[in-house]
């Protein structure tokens, strides 16, 4: 039975077999990534696993949509590296908890809708850049430590590693053609593990990255002084972490919406993320956010309900408590092969097919966002820059669309029928449309197909009114929408214009008038 599309009904019908197998696969791919990010930031390895368990469980149960997988993500960890080096891990826990508070506030005030401001070219750039990052991260597994320095594998170890990765990829690609009853990623991990263990092949394993053995996440109040100095240190990191986590999370949520043809709840996801991060701060976790790679692993395995995320997080906890000796022997090559296929599936290949059909500015924005994502690993900054450039391009293009139809009626009154929005970008073109010196004594500006959008538009009308008044002529405004009238009335101290009322016309948004 396929999972229902109802998002928040816990009584929905679930394909338990698919959900459990998908959850196990997600746990296998999440563990080495969480360990690697924790080690990269200088945290104890278990801090990464605790984050994967707490983030995964809380967001799976209370998050904004089924199928979304959260854990100790690199995007948020990167933000905390500098704080860890300068002030230590106790301040990191405070920053993680504070980031959670900020995220909850954003969800409560229903600000998740701001993600709608992210254009499609930015989404393409974000996803493609992230796919490259996921792929490049796997190349690190082809390195080893020699005399305290990293070096690329060579000779037999390189051939073994490459061969096992290639075998994993082949199984992931071919197995679904045989059956889709079991996730191909999990099958690949099991087969490669069996080969390595059965033939005694010497290759890099999870235990070579770090120990995964430990206890239940302990309750821990961060040992930092409660004063303004601590707040000044921690708040900037908390704010950036909250922004990065929500940016990646809400973009991932939108991506899952597209893949599953369902609708998630962004505000609910913000609250769930924030709650999970607060728990991380008090239970020895490094915090995190939704992980696009593991989410795609989950979806590709056929999961569509919350159960897979719950299973994944509980599996990580069981491994921490009991399964470390077995999981520690998993070959990294198998996990690397799975993640390479995730990177391949993440990339929006359709963006190449429509490359020559997109406006040049959209192509530029998409490439720029991808490059910033790859070079800086700063997803929030990349998306922000993409949105700003897209907004400026839109403003420029909209500014060029304003135009005026001019005519003089039988009473000798000159009419200017304005088309397009009057805002900061179009005021210059708007002003150039009027011939104050040669116009008759009475002029009407018709805004039936236009609107005054901002203070710059009001100021443009104010200056235009002043020019006509100085020339001894009368200027009227006609067919203003109710919001435009309200805008002008609010600025009554700044501008004095004559607003004409048409008895056959009510508001500009109603389509009961004739042109």
Residue spans per domain, the chain: 16-390, 400-500
From CA 117, how far away is CA 169, in angstroms rounded? 37
Q: Given the DSSP bridges, would you call strands 442-449 and 414-419 parallel, antiparallel or unpaired?
A: parallel
User: Residue 193 pairs with which residues in a beta bridge?
Assistant: none
pTM summary value: 0.69
Query: At a CB cut-off of 8 Å and minimum separation 6, what does 423 contact?
Result: 395, 398, 399, 453, 454, 456, 457
From CA 69, how far away is CA 199, in angstroms rounded? 34
Q: Which of 10, 72, 4 is nearest to 289 (CA)?
A: 72
Check residue 353 and give its pLDDT.
77
Check residue 491 and give its pLDDT.
58
Query: Is 83 in contact with 43 (CB distance < 8 Å)?
Result: no
Can you tell me whether residue 456 is helix, strand or coil?
helix
Check residue 1 and give its pLDDT.
36
Check residue 307 and give its pLDDT.
95
pLDDT tens digits in sequence order for the chain, 515 residues long: 334 334 444 445 788 999 999 999 899 888 877 877 787 678 888 899 999 999 999 999 999 999 999 998 877 887 788 899 899 999 999 999 999 999 999 999 998 887 767 787 887 887 788 788 778 878 888 888 777 788 898 999 999 999 999 999 999 899 988 887 777 888 888 899 999 999 999 998 888 877 777 889 999 999 999 999 999 999 989 988 898 888 888 888 988 888 888 889 999 999 999 999 999 999 999 999 999 888 988 998 889 899 999 999 999 999 889 888 887 888 889 888 887 887 887 787 877 777 777 788 888 888 888 888 788 766 667 878 888 888 888 888 888 888 999 999 998 999 999 998 898 889 999 999 999 999 999 999 998 888 888 888 888 888 888 899 899 988 888 887 776 777 666 656 555 555 665 444 333 333 333 33
Fill in the DSSP letter of residue 303.
-
Which long-range CB contacts under 8 A does 186-189 form with residues at least 24 apart?
186/21, 186/24, 186/25, 186/28, 186/301, 188/334, 188/337, 188/338, 189/25, 189/28, 189/330, 189/334, 189/335, 189/338
Can you tell me whether residue 441 is helix, strand or coil?
coil
Burial of 179 (0-12, 13-18, 19+ CB in 10 A): exposed
Buried residues in 420-445 as b, exposed as e (16+ CB within 10 A):
bbbbebbbebbeeebeeeebeeebbb
From CA 84, how far away is CA 63, in angstroms rounded? 28
- 302 phi and psi, to 5 degrees? 100, 0
Query: At a CB cut-off of 8 Å and minimum separation 6, what does 329 contact?
Result: 193, 196, 197, 205, 206, 207
From CA 463, how far away is CA 455, in angstroms rounded? 12
Given CATH 3.40.50.11540, say whether it is the number of domain 400-500: no
Check residue 356 and give its pLDDT.
75
């Amino acid at each position: 039975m396929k999972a229902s599309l109802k998002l928040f009904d816990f009584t929905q019908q679930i394909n338990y077999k698919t959900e459990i197998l998908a959850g196990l696969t997600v746990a296998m791919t999440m563990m080495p990534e969480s360990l690697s990010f924790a080690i990269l930031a200088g945290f104890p390895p278990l801090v990464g696993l605790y984050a994967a368990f707490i983030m995964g469980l809380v967001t799976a149960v209370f998050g904004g949509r089924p199928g979304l997988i959260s854990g100790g993500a690199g995007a948020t960890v990167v933000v905390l590296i500098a704080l860890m080096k300068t002030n230590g891990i106790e301040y990191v826990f405070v920053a993680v908890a504070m980031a959670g508070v900020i995220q909850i506030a954003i969800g409560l005030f229903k600000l998740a809708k701001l993600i709608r401001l992210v254009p499609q070219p930015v989404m393409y750039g974000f996803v493609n850049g992230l796919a490259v990052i996921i792929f490049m991260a796997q190349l690190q597994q082809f390195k080893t430590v020699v005399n305290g320095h990293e070096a690329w594998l060579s000779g037999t170890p390189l051939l073994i590693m490459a061969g096992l990765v290639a075998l994993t990829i082949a199984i992931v690609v071919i197995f679904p053609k045989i059956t889709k009853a079991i996730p191909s990623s999990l099958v690949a991990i099991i087969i490669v593990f069996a080969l390595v263990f059965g033939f005694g092949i010497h290759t890099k394993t999870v235990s070579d990255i770090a120990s995964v053995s430990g206890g239940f996440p302990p309750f821990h109040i961060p040992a930092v002084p409660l004063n303004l100095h601590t707040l000044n240190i921690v708040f900037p990191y908390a704010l950036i972490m909250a922004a990065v986590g929500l940016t990646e999370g809400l973009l991932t949520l939108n991506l899952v919406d597209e893949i599953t043809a369902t609708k998630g709840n962004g505000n609910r996801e913000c609250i769930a993320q924030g709650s999970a991060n607060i728990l991380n701060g008090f239970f020895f976790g490094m915090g995190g956010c939704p992980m696009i790679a593991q989410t795609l692993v989950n979806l590709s395995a056929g999961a569509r309900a919350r159960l897979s995320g719950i299973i994944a997080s509980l599996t990580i906890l069981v491994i921490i408590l009991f399964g470390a000796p077995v999981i520690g022997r998993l070959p990294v090559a198998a996990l690397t092969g799975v993640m390479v296929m995730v990177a391949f599936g993440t990339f929006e290949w359709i963006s190449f097919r429509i490359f020559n059909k997109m406006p040049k500015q959209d192509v530029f924005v998409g490439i720029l966002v991808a490059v910033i994502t790859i070079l800086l690993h700063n997803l929030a900054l990349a998306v922000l820059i993409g949105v700003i450039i897209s907004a400026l391009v839109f403003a420029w293009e909209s500014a060029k669309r304003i135009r005026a139809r001019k005519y003089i009626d039988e009473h000798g009154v000159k009419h200017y029928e304005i088309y397009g929005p009057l805002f900061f970008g179009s005021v210059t073109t708007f002003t150039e449309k009027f011939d104050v010196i040669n116009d008759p004594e009475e002029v009407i500006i018709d805004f039936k197909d236009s609107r005054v959008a901002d203070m710059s538009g009001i100021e443009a009308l104010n200056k235009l009114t002043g020019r006509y008044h100085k020339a001894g002529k009368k200027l009227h405004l006609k067919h203003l929408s109710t919001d435009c009238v309200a805008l002008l009335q609010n600025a009554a101290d700044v501008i004095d214009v004559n607003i004409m009322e048409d008895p056959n016309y009510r508001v500009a948004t109603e389509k009961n008038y004739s042109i």
